[in-house]
Amino acid sequence: MNEIEKLKKEYKDYAKENGFNLNPNEKIVDGVINGLIARKENFGEKYCPCRKMTGNKKDDKRIICPCVYHKEEIEKDGHCFCNLFTR
């Protein structure tokens, strides 16, 4: 299983455990996951590709996927900011 498929399964299981879904649009999911992989390679963590990094590891910890904002965004908007997870 390659890293993209591994992360898809991990995030799909995470979503199911938390009462929401992985976005059914494969193109969106692949784009976000590729961004997460790139950020992990470049910065050492799977920082959300849709959020601005500060360069301060303590502050940026909040945007490691799944970020601290996703549950509230899903409840409010029906999806998280990057559209990886949906209601």
Domain that holds residue 28: 3-86
pTM (2 d.p.): 0.92
Q: Where residue 67 sits, what CATH number does that domain have?
A: 3.90.460.10
Residues 6+ apart with CB under 8 A from 22: 8, 11, 12, 15, 29, 84, 85, 86
How many domains does the chain contain in total?
A: 1
pLDDT digits (tens, 9 = 90+) for 5-42: 999 999 999 999 999 999 999 999 999 999 999 999 99
Look up residue 5 and give its two tokens. 């498929």
Is residue 82 over pLDDT 90?
yes
